[in-house]
């Protein structure tokens, strides 16, 4: 594994930033939230835990009713 970055790599990175400058600026300055995505992922994880727990899901304490 090398610990240095070549000049060509730095130039390439700068050109990519420059070609997408509006996106780079927006990503660094605008407020954003991944709350909806995180909520969906948490629901999927909880559903998987319930399904692995058995038919009634009683071995998993999730704090809300099990379907």
- In-domain check, residue 36: yes
Q: What is the pLDDT of residue 56?
A: 55
How many structural domains are present in the chain? 1
Would you state the structure tokens that stand for residue 54, as one six-digit string? 């058995």
Q: Which domain holds residue 39?
A: 7-53
- In-domain check, residue 49: yes
- In-domain check, residue 34: yes
Is the pLDDT score of 17 beyond 60? yes
Q: What is the pLDDT of residue 41?
A: 85
CA nearest 50: which of 35, 38, 67?
A: 67
Q: What is the pLDDT of residue 55?
A: 59
Q: What is the pLDDT of residue 60?
A: 52
Q: How many helices (H) and strands (E) does the chain have?
A: 3, 0
- In-domain check, residue 59: no
pLDDT digits over 24-58, tens only?
888 888 887 777 778 888 888 888 887 776 655 55
Q: What is the pLDDT of residue 45?
A: 86
DSSP string, 1-33: ------HHHHHHHHHHHHHTHHHHHHHHHS---
């Amino acid at each position: 594994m090398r610990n240095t970055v070549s000049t060509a790599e730095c130039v390439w990175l700068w050109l990519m930033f420059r070609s997408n400058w509006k996106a780079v600026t927006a990503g660094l300055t605008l407020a954003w939230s991944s709350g909806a995505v995180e909520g969906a992922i948490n629901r999927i994880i909880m559903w998987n835990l319930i399904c692995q727990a058995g038919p009634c899901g009683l071995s998993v304490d999730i704090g809300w009713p099990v379907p």
